[in-house]
Amino acid sequence: MRVILELLERDAHLSHNTIATMTGLPVEQVAAQVAAWEASGVIRRYTAVVDWDRASADGDDTVTAFIDVSVAPARGVGFDDVALRISRFPEVRSVYLVSGGHDLRCTVTGDGLRAVSDFVAQKLSTIDRVQATATHFVLKAYKRGGVAFVDTEPDHRLPVTP
């Protein structure tokens, strides 16, 4: 059944009929499984992967940053309470517990560099047990959500006919 999730993750527009054809499963079984995953929270929502650089050609100044956060863990909750608090800010798109030099990695968007820096200075760094942050601004996205944003070179080979 994992194959159904992988297909939906790659293309959320696939119909139950198409998935059934691709997997060889009955349409009713595919529909029931997808409905069960939606009800249980395995499938959280359906999204589109947007190339914001192309969509923002009209001068939109929205920027994305990855912010690494060092947190002093607390007995009984570790990093969970701080991560949950960070995730509640509308600027925050994702929060991960990671290995390495920092504890959490957050993806944040804002209306310009100033908005993101103000978020870090006034909201993020003032949270109890946040010890340090490191902000990395995204300069260009090449791939996100499994989708490449670079145009491929046209195929200049001559067609071969039998």
Note the pLDDT tens digit of each residue in 22-67.
999 999 999 999 999 999 999 988 888 777 777 766 656 789 999 9
pTM: 0.74
Low-confidence ranges of the chain (pLDDT < 50): none
Distances in whole angstroms, Cα of residue 24 to Cα of each of 17, 18, 29, 84 = 10, 10, 10, 41
- CB-based burial label for 2 (10 Å; 0-12, 13-18, 19+): exposed
